[in-house]
Chain A
Amino acid sequence: MYNNVISSIFNELLTNNISCLRFNFRGVGKSAGKQYEGNGELTDVKTCIDYLTNENFDKILICGYSYGAAIGCSLVNYSEIVIGFCAISFPWDFMGEGFKESTQTTKPKFFIQGDKDNIASFDRFDFHYDSYMEPKSKFIIEGADHFYGGFESIISQKVLKFTRNQFGIIT
């Protein structure tokens, strides 16, 4: 259960006393099943939201990176207790229009993007970003490609700030 970006965010939230859940999609690590390239993984996110609901959490902020942004943020309207999302390198152009449609919401949205990313292409970022309704915000990381090597701290700080704002945590 390790990825440089997700682990950096997880540790930053942990250090700042913000509760956090990360999980492996089906077919990864000790998670059962086979990868379904979308549909099954959407069910995985629903499973996590249902679990957190049963654990008496009443505000969930989804944060996904790349494929995890497309899949995770698509469940933003699944439950009222999901209050918004943060998407890092949302791969609109190779995940299909359906994922853009399912992530449309009046809830707060924050997009992080590297300007050297040619996988979740930066060239098309503003085109996609502009199609989202408010409230929304973005942060462009100069010099960062899709894998954000060396930029993990910047990302985790930005996610922490967005999370604090959405949770109403005053520092």
Chain B
Amino acid sequence: MLDSKNIIIKGEDNVLEAEISRKKTNQINKIVLLCHPHPQFHLTFSRKGKIWG
């Protein structure tokens, strides 16, 4: 299992909080980029009432 670490990504006009897991052996050059749903919408309408934490 991979380890993950929290990172900060700096863009031209923004600074993003991210978490990356990275394989160190083969398949090292391939990665999935995950994109979250809208936080306010899902916080408001989620059945559990707490999606973001």
Which of B2, B33, B45 counts the most A-chain CB atoms under 10 A from its CB?
B33
Q: How far is the CA of A10 from the CA of B6 in the complex (A)?
A: 13
How many contacts A-B (CB < 8 Å)? 197
- Structural contact, B15 and A57, CB atoms closer than 8 A: no
- Structural contact, B51 and A61, CB atoms closer than 8 A: no
- Structural contact, A58 and B48, CB atoms closer than 8 A: no
B residues in contact with A65, CB < 8 Å: 35-37
> Does any Cβ of B come within 8 Å of A25's Cβ?
yes
- Number of A interface residues at 8 Å Cβ cutoff, please give it: 64
- Structural contact, B52 and A29, CB atoms closer than 8 A: yes
- Number of B interface residues at 8 Å Cβ cutoff, please give it: 42
> Does any Cβ of B come within 8 Å of A13's Cβ?
yes
Partner of A57, one of B10, B19, B31: B31
Nearest neighbor of A67 in chain B, beta-carbon distance: B38
Q: How far is the CA of A143 from the CA of B9 in the complex (A)?
A: 38
> Does any Cβ of B come within 8 Å of A44's Cβ?
yes
Binary CB contact string for chain B from 6 to 17 against chain A (1 if under 8 A, 0 otherwise): 001111111111
Q: How far is the CA of A14 from the CA of B36 in the complex (A)?
A: 17
- Structural contact, A21 and B19, CB atoms closer than 8 A: yes
Which of B28, B32, B51 counts the most A-chain CB atoms under 10 A from its CB?
B32
Partner of B34, one of A10, A15, A67, A167: A10
How near does chain A come to B29, taking the closest CB pair, in angstroms?
Answer: 5
- Structural contact, A19 and B9, CB atoms closer than 8 A: no
Given A44-B16, A48-B16, 17 other A-B residues pairs in contact with their CB atoms under 8 A: A10-B4, A10-B19, A17-B27, A20-B21, A23-B16, A23-B18, A24-B17, A28-B17, A33-B15, A44-B14, A47-B10, A58-B29, A59-B31, A66-B37, A67-B36, A147-B46, A147-B47
